[in-house]
Amino acid sequence: MAASARRGSPLSSREIYGEALRLIDERGVEALSMRKLAAELDVNPMSLYHHVPNKEALLEGVCDLVISGIELPADDAAPWQEQLKALGVGLRAIALAHPALYPYLVSRPRLMRHDTVWEAQNRVLAAAGVPEERRPRIRNVLFAFTTGFLLTEINGVFPEPDDEAFDEAVDLIINGLSAYGSCGESGA
């Protein structure tokens, strides 16, 4: 492996994705360019193309990097209302950690199809008493509501990052889901 003329070690796609994420977090998605990224890595722009097919794939890789780092609380002992909230908090943490990337992140199916998120949300729905055959669709709705709320929050459409709005949103969903169970057999 020919080392870069300017760097000691050769590039890796992991390193590229990491630096791209850093740039996005710092200056926004549209400020990211292959040239700037290459400069930041002390490398010729075209060198990136030996590890990443194009910019689209670069962003995809950055999304994967973030998604792979998701850690969701999985406390099956807790009542489903608390689990639901914990799930929301987990997703919100990602949104707040990478607000610039988040709109891009939720605009592709990757996050939605992520196993950890899928299973966690499905588990909550089961605990809430949602009949199995309705779970997939309701879980899609739940996902859409969650990311939609976070997007709106991130985009600054709310007056400001608003913890109370978040609580209100969680409550609204909890109340909504309660009706799907056997009419009131809630835990907590």
Partner DNA sequence: TCGGTCAGCCATACACCGTATGGAAAGCTA
Partner DNA sequence: TAGCTTTCCATACGGTGTATGGCTGACCGA
Binding residues vs DNA (CB under 7 A)? 1-7, 10-11, 32-36, 43-47, 49-51, 54-56
Query: How distant is the alpha carbon of residue 134 from its chain centre?
Result: 24
Quote the CA–CA distance of 131 and 109 in Å, as a whole number.
Answer: 25
Secondary structure class of 24 (helix, strand, coil): helix
Quote the CA–CA distance of 146 and 181 in Å, as a whole number.
Answer: 20
- 3 interface partner picked from DNA, a copy of itself, none, CB below 5 to 8 A per type: DNA
Nearer to DNA among residue 104 and residue 145 (C-beta): 104
| C-alpha gyration radius of the chain | 20
Nearer to DNA among residue 60 and residue 64 (C-beta): 60
Segment contacting a copy of itself by CB under 8 A, of 13-21, 65-73, 90-98, 147-155: 147-155
Contact status: 38 vs a copy of itself (CB under 8 A): no
Asked whether the CA dihedral 28, 56, 71, 76 is positive or negative, the reply is positive
Per-residue x/- track, 99-138, a copy of itself (CB under 8 A): ----x--xxxx--x---------------------x--xx
